[in-house]
Amino acid sequence: MGGEGTIGPMASASTSLSTPLSPAARADALRRMGTEELDVLVVGGGVVGAGAALDAVTRGLKVGLVEARDWAAGTSSRSSKLFHGGLRYLEQLNFALVFEALKERKLALETLCPHLAHPVEFLYPLQKTGIDRAYAGLGIGVYDVMGAGRGVPSHLRHHGRRKTYEDFPSAKPGALTGSITFYEGQVDDARHTMMIARTAAHFGALVASSARVSGFTRTAGRITGATVTDLETGGAVEVRAKHVINATGVWVDEIQEMIGGRGQFRVRASKGIHLVVPRERISSRTGIITRTEKSLLFVIPWGNFWFIGTTDTDWALDLAHPAASAADIDYVLEHVNALLLDPLTRDDVIGVYAGLRPLLAGEDESTSKLSREHAVSSPAPGLTAVAGGKYTTYRIMAMDAVDAAVKDLDAGTGPSITEDVPLVGADGYHALWNSRRLLAERTGLEQSWVEHLLNRYGSLLPELLDLVEADPTLAEPLADAREYLRVEAVYAASHEGALHLDDVLARRTRVSIETWDRGTKVAEEVARLVAPVLGWDDADVAREVEHYVARVAAERESQTQPDDLTADAARVGAPDVRVGAPS
């Protein structure tokens, strides 16, 4: 897979470049949470919870972070994978939210995680003459000006019919009169969230996934900690904390009920789905953003694929495993096909994923009109809750939650500094990227693989090369998921907190939605690669593979069902593997 040569000096990292989220580190974190009083316990390992843990620990606080399943297992792995200001919010004249989001986009792309995020160009097709260009051009123009210099090129361009069809050859003939192109930011949301948790651990936070809060402790009416169940062993830990932050997203109300009632705001879950289709099925130089009768539809470039979405519908069923129905899939296909010469069919769909947005409930019944802004409240002494918002503004939400929490702590805690704290892997990334040709020569890897690894691990690359040096077979691609190297599976378990096969295939990589078989063919190979790290025997490997195959089958079945109710019933037939842990 590469030229002659040895791994060379890049592989000789005698010590880890950052604190790994290893099985041993997780066990130690839970042990310490049971013996040391924390300043802040954050509940919820999505992007906001991980962000709150990082914010708090970099203020000098003693912090714990627990997540019931895997890092980013819920909403934070199922977004449109964009850092964006939000054109729809501009249309609602919510300039403050747009400006805030554009500032955060710049921070992410330029400072906080340039190894994970990058600009991506989009085309907004115009379907009417005159008023369409004037209306869309004004809105996108204001958006571009507001975002000028904020992480992406300020290169808004108006194009006529000929240039539009040159850029978007798959467009239906005669359907478009022109287009406008502009830039947004793109990120792998699940990897980004995991990296935030890992960065928090690097600065001293105690972090543990598969650790579910099953109750809260009180002293004189004040929340003073929580009971945390280790879903891997069945053991329980009593965690003492001066303050608890509830950052559980769509589960905020459920956690609130544990303390005896609702908080000062209510959350409604809105389901959004995305389809994954092969890149060759749509010929376009750029991504595409177009309007629907309810919202915007994105056709997002993602390596050899397009992600197409999303929907925006109320969801009141299983929160852990939202299901995409046949109606959802048909809705997305209908709207994207309105633009395409060669319509997509269900046979073109490689993967589907569904996620839930935690929206602040309002009077309007349409979830597309509920607030995308966030709220922070203190529903009980010693407890802060945060919900709402959007992925792009996670850092602001986290900061606001910690600001509320520290009012309850001893004086002397400083303000947030996360604006200036790059995630692990960011420092040195640009220098390594510029040296990627030399890295390929030194390591024997093809340059395309070096680029792939740098854009997923940044300056943590030597940690993977150490593993390859110890076992050169890890430099080979996975047999039935050849866009990833074998070392990435091992590293997911040894350094990135993956505890189960699903964690590796659905979140540390995107094999579950990027292969026609959705990862079932590579499942056993990956399970055997991570088995030594996670202490699995043959029975454990078989159980993990069986569970993963059942999960894929349940998702496929749900996607043939006509509506949410029947889709949900099909999907819950394969419960989370962690549910089977001893209790």
The mean per-residue pLDDT over the stretch 485-510 comes to 98
Q: Are residues 328 and 459 in the same domain?
A: no
Report the alpha-carbon distance of residue 262 to residue 272 in Å, rounded.
Answer: 25
87 domain residue, yes or no? no
**Of the candidates 504, 461, 503, which has an alpha carbon nearest to the alpha carbon of residue 481?**
504
Q: How confident is the model at residue 3 (pLDDT cuts 50, 70, 90)?
A: very low
Question: What is the rounded distance in angstroms from the CA atom of residue 493 to the CA atom of residue 474?
Answer: 14
- Please provide the average confidence, as pLDDT, over all residues in the chain: 90
With residue 437 as reference, give the H or E element that holds it: helix 436-443
182 and 197 share one domain: no
The whole-model pTM stands at 0.94
> So what's the pLDDT on residue 364?
41
Angle of helix 436-443 relative to helix 461-470, nearest 10 degrees, comes to 10
Average pLDDT over residues 361-387: 71
| Average pLDDT of the segment spanning 48-63 | 98
Q: What is the pLDDT of residue 371?
A: 47
Residue 439: give the domain boundaries. 429-570
pLDDT the model gives residue 563? 97
Record the tokens describing residue 366, joined without a space: 């349409």
**Residue scoring higher pLDDT (35 or 144):** 35
Alpha-carbon span 199 to 403, nearest angstrom: 20
Contact 352, 325 (CB under 8 A): no
Q: How many CA atoms lie less than 13 Å away from 552 in the CB half-sphere? A: 24
Tokens standing for residue 136: 């869309």
Is 34 exposed, middle or buried, given 0-12, 13-18 or 19+ CB atoms closer than 10 A? Answer: middle
Residue 498 in domain: yes
Q: How far apart are the first and last CA of the chain?
A: 46
Confidence of residue 168 (pLDDT cuts 50, 70, 90): very high
Q: Is residue 284 part of a domain?
A: yes
Q: CA geometry: angle at 42 spanning 41 and 44, to 5°? A: 145
Contacts of 321 (CB under 8 A, 6+ apart): 571, 572, 576
**Listed residues 350, 373, 407: the one ending a domain:** 407
pLDDT at residue 18, rounded to an integer:
84
Query: Exposure of 16 by Cβ count < 10 A (0-12 exposed, 13-18 middle, 19+ buried)?
Result: middle
Cα distances (Å, whole numbers) of residue 196 to 19, 50, 382, 452: 12, 6, 25, 20
Same domain, 403 and 458: no
Cα(209)–Cα(189) distance, rounded to whole angstroms?
Answer: 17
CATH of the domain at 442: 1.10.8
Instruction: Please indicate, yes or no, if residue 124 is contained in any of the structural domains.
Output: yes
Are both 566 and 500 inside the same structural domain?
yes
pLDDT in tens, 93-127: 667 788 888 899 999 999 999 999 999 999 999 98
CA angle 480, 507, 569 (to 5 degrees): 95
**DSSP 8-state symbol, 418:** G
Does the structure show a pLDDT above 80 at 1?
no
What are 386's strand-pairing partners? 376
Predicted pLDDT of residue 260: 78
| Contact call for residues 442 and 10 (beta carbons, < 8 A) | yes
Total count of domains within the chain: 3
Task: Pick the closest to residue 136 from 284, 288, 286, 290 (CA basis).
Answer: 290
- Structure tokens, 48: 């906001």
**Owner of token pair 């099925």:** 281
Whether residues 201 and 64 fall in one domain: yes
pLDDT the model gives residue 263: 67
Residue type, 226: A
Positive or negative CA dihedral for 125, 129, 130, 131?
A: negative
Mean pLDDT score, 373-394: 91
> Which among 538, 404, 288, 392 has a CA at the least distance from the CA of 56?
404
Q: Output the domain CATH number for residue 44.
A: 3.50.50.60
Which pLDDT tens digit goes with each residue over 129-165? 665 676 576 667 766 666 555 557 667 789 999 999 9
In a domain, 422, yes or no: no
Same domain, 316 and 351: yes
Give the pLDDT band of residue 365 (cuts 50, 70, 90).
very low
Average pLDDT over residues 207-235: 96
Tell me: pLDDT of 237 over 50. yes
Of 155-164, 342-351, 393-402, 554-563, the one with minimum mean pLDDT is: 155-164
Interatomic CA distance for residues 143 and 372, integer angstroms? 18
Contacts of 180 (CB under 8 A, 6+ apart): 123, 124, 126, 133, 136, 137, 140, 156, 157, 158, 159
Query: Is 43 among the domain residues?
Result: yes
Task: State the pLDDT confidence band at 415, using cuts at 50, 70 and 90.
Answer: very high
Q: Are 290 and 396 a contacting pair, CB within 8 Å?
A: no
Would you state the pLDDT for residue 374? 86
Query: What's the CATH number where 139 sits?
Result: 3.30.9.10
Domain identity same for 462 and 564? yes
In a domain, 144, yes or no: yes
Is the pLDDT assigned to residue 4 strictly greater than 50?
A: no
Q: Is there a domain that residue 400 lies in?
A: yes
Select from 375, 407, 439 the last residue of a domain.
Answer: 407
Per the CB < 8 A criterion, the answer to whether 497 and 470 are in contact is no
Residues 443, 547: one domain?
A: yes
Model confidence at 367, pLDDT cuts 50, 70, 90, reads: very low
Judge whether residue 331 has pLDDT over 50. yes
pLDDT for 240-297, tens place per residue?
999 999 999 999 999 888 887 666 788 999 999 999 999 999 999 999 999 888 778 9
The verdict on 166 and 235 lying in the same domain is: no
Residues 552 and 455 occupy one common structural domain: yes
342 and 377 co-located in one domain? no
Among residues 116, 124, 28, which one has the least CA distance to residue 433? 116
In this structure, what DSSP letter does residue 422 have? P
- Are 292 and 335 spatial neighbours (Cβ–Cβ below 8 Å)? yes
Dist. CA 178–CA 164, nearest whole Å: 6
Instruction: Give the H/E segment covering residue 486.
Output: helix 486-494
**Size of the chain, expressed as the number of residues it contains:** 583
**Can you name the residues that pair with 298 across neighbouring β-strands?**
289, 309
Q: Domain boundary residue among 303, 335, 360?
A: 360
Q: Do 175 and 225 fall within a single domain?
A: no
Better pLDDT: 255 or 238 = 238
Tell me: pLDDT of 579 over 90: no
* Residue 153: Cβ within 10 Å count: 12
Query: For the chain, what percent of residues have pLDDT higher than 90?
Result: 77
Per-residue confidence band for 369, with pLDDT thresholds at 50, 70 and 90: very low
